[in-house]
Amino acid sequence: MALKALDYDSLNENVKKCQYAVRGELYLRASELQKEGKKIIFTNVGNPHALGQKPLTFPRQVVALCQAPFLLDDPNVGMLFPADAIARAKHYLSLTSGGLGAYSDSRGLPGVRKEVAEFIERRDGYPSDPELIFLTDGASKGVMQILNCVIRGDGDGILVPVPQYPLYSATISLLGGSLVPYYLDESENWGLDVNNLRQSVAQARSQGISVRAMVIINPGNPTGQCLSEANLREILRFCYNEKLVLLGDEVYQQNIYQDERPFISSKKVLMDMGSPFSKEVQLVSFHTVSKGYWGECGQRGGYFEMTNIPPRVVEEIYKVASIALSPNVSAQIFMGLMVSPPKPGDISYDQFIRESKGILESLRRRAKIMTDGFNSCKNVVCNFTEGAMYSFPQIRLPPGAIQAAKQAGKVPDVFYCLKLLEATGISTVPGSGFGQKEGVFHLRTTILPAEEEMPEIMDSFKKFNDKFMTQYDNNFGYSRM
Ligand code: DCS
> Looking at residue 324, what is its pLDDT?
93
- Range(s) within the chain of domains with CATH label 3.40.640.10: 94-339
> Looking at residue 435, what is its pLDDT?
87
Q: Which residues pair with 183 in a beta bridge?
A: 162
Strand 245-249 and strand 210-217: the pairing is parallel
> Looking at residue 24, what is its pLDDT?
82
CA distance linking residue 147 with residue 201, whole number of Å: 18
> Looking at residue 480, what is its pLDDT?
53
CA distance linking residue 307 with residue 72, whole number of Å: 39
> Looking at residue 25, what is its pLDDT?
87
CA distance linking residue 313 with residue 474, whole number of Å: 60
- pTM value > 0.85: yes
Helix (H, G, I), strand (E, B) or coil at 442: strand
Mean pLDDT (10-residue bins), the chain, 481 residues: 89 88 85 94 91 95 98 96 98 96 97 98 98 98 97 96 93 96 91 92 96 97 94 96 97 95 97 98 98 96 98 97 96 98 97 97 95 95 95 94 94 96 95 89 94 94 95 66 48
Query: How many angstroms is it from 471 CA to the middle of ligand 1?
Result: 36
Query: How many angstroms is it from 286 CA to the middle of ligand 1?
Result: 11
- The DSSP element (H or E) to which 444 belongs, if any, is strand 443-446
Which ligand 1 atom sits nearest the alpha carbon of residue 143?
A: 9
Amino acid at 129: D
- Range(s) within the chain of domains with CATH label 3.90.1150.10: 9-39+353-472
Q: How far is the CA of 196 from the CAs of 192, 219, 223, in angstroms?
A: 8, 19, 17
Residues in the chain: 481
| CATH for the stretch 94-339 | 3.40.640.10
Which ligand 1 atom sits nearest the alpha carbon of residue 220?
A: 3
Query: How many angstroms is it from 289 CA to the middle of ligand 1?
Result: 10
Q: Is 162 exposed, middle or buried (0-12, 13-18, 19+ CB in 10 A)?
A: middle
| Ligand 1 pocket mutation, candidates 49, 165, 216, 391, criterion most atoms within 8 A of CB | 165
Helix (H, G, I), strand (E, B) or coil at 59: helix
Q: How far is the CA of 89 from the CAs of 68, 96, 399, 445, 479, in angstroms?
A: 10, 11, 60, 37, 56
| Ligand 1 pocket mutation, candidates 144, 226, 290, 428, criterion most atoms within 8 A of CB | 290
Amino acid at 415: F
Q: How far is the CA of 322 from the CAs of 104, 124, 145, 200, 304, in angstroms?
A: 10, 29, 11, 36, 15
Query: How many angstroms is it from 142 CA to the middle of ligand 1?
Result: 12
Q: Which residues pair with 246 in a beta bridge?
A: 214, 283
Amino acid at 13: E
DSSP state string for 352-390 = HHHHHHHHHHHHHHHHHHHHHHHHTSTTEE-----BTTE
CA distance linking residue 310 with residue 396, whole number of Å: 48
Instruction: Yes or no: say if 109 and 337 are a contact pair by the CB < 8 Å rule.
Output: no
Give the contacts of 60 (CB within 8 A, at least 6 positions apart): none
Which ligand 1 atom sits nearest the alpha carbon of residue 44?
A: 20
Strands in 226-294 per DSSP E: 245-249, 283-288
Among residues 254, 251, 267, 255, the alpha carbon closest in space to that of 305 is found at 267
CA distance linking residue 377 with residue 391, whole number of Å: 14
Query: How many angstroms is it from 254 CA to the middle of ligand 1?
Result: 14
Give the contacts of 76 (CB within 8 A, at least 6 positions apart): none
Which ligand 1 atom sits nearest the alpha carbon of residue 141?
A: 13
What is the domain class of 9-39+353-472 according to CATH? alpha beta
Query: How many angstroms is it from 327 CA to the middle of ligand 1?
Result: 17
DSSP state string for 405-420 = HHHTT--HHHHHHHHH
Q: Phi and psi dihedrals of 390, rounded to 5? A: -135, 155
Among residues 178, 262, 185, the alpha carbon closest in space to that of 213 is found at 178
Q: Phi and psi dihedrals of 66, rounded to 5? A: -70, -35
Q: Which residues pair with 180 in a beta bridge?
A: 159
Q: Is 173 exposed, middle or buried (0-12, 13-18, 19+ CB in 10 A)?
A: buried
SS3 content of the chain, % helix, strand, coil (to 5): 50, 15, 35
> Looking at residue 479, what is its pLDDT?
60
